[in-house]
Homo-oligomer: A and B are copies of this chain.
Amino acid sequence: MNKGTLLVLSGSSGVGKGTIIAQVLEKRPELYLSVSCTTRAPRPGEVDGVNYYFISREEFQTRIERGEFLEYAEYVGNYYGTSMTVIREKLEKGVDVLLEIEVQGAAKVRERMPEAVSVFIVPPSFEELAQRLRGRGTDSEEKIQKRLETARREAKEIKNYDYIVVNDTVDHAAQEVLAILTAQGCRTERRIHEIEGV
């Protein structure tokens, strides 16, 4: 039985990860999108169990103590964490898992699951990113500046990722993420057990 691929996806806030992931899932509905737990408040339209599991700070801390998280991190004042059990089950069944996660979390996942494949999504430029954040209209200018600072800091971590995808258009970026997943499924260590006479 071949294991699935764990695809770790990071990218600056506002770069369009959500839209890219939605398109990837549309093309490959058999993928499992890992749902993180968070203590931050839901944004308008976000659904519990779909975008995140929204849980209290207290509940989050209990789960930390139980060792339930593959990784967790505090980010802009809130906890974000990834439950390990479900991911491992899916991978064992040969299902590819998509995990959207910020850079600190990704570093921890790479440490604990070195077989994970990681992708960093970048905007065409920081200027473009600033425009997109302003266009979203959900953040104050101060918050936007803070996000841009974070983006510049995070850019230093890109070298630790396996792949870089530039979100010039959603179609193009989604197509590249899909190609990375397809290529990963063709890797010799993944496929060799199915091959006759090897």
Classify chain A's interface size. 35 or more
Return chain B residues, CB-CB under 8 Å to A166: 191, 194
A188 to B122, CA, bound (A): 12
A176 to B178, CA, bound (A): 11
A158 within 8 A of B: yes
Interface residues in A33-55 by Cβ distance below 8 A to B read: none
Q: Are B163 and A195 in contact (CB under 8 A)?
A: no
Q: Answer whether A179 and B186 are a contact pair too, CB < 8 Å, given A126-B197, A155-B198, A198-B156.
A: yes
Q: Are A158 and B198 in contact (CB under 8 A)?
A: yes
A80 to B34, CA, bound (A): 49
Given contacts A152-B197, A163-B191, 10 further A-B contacts (CB under 8 A): A122-B196, A156-B198, A158-B195, A159-B188, A163-B188, A164-B187, A164-B188, A176-B186, A180-B183, A183-B183
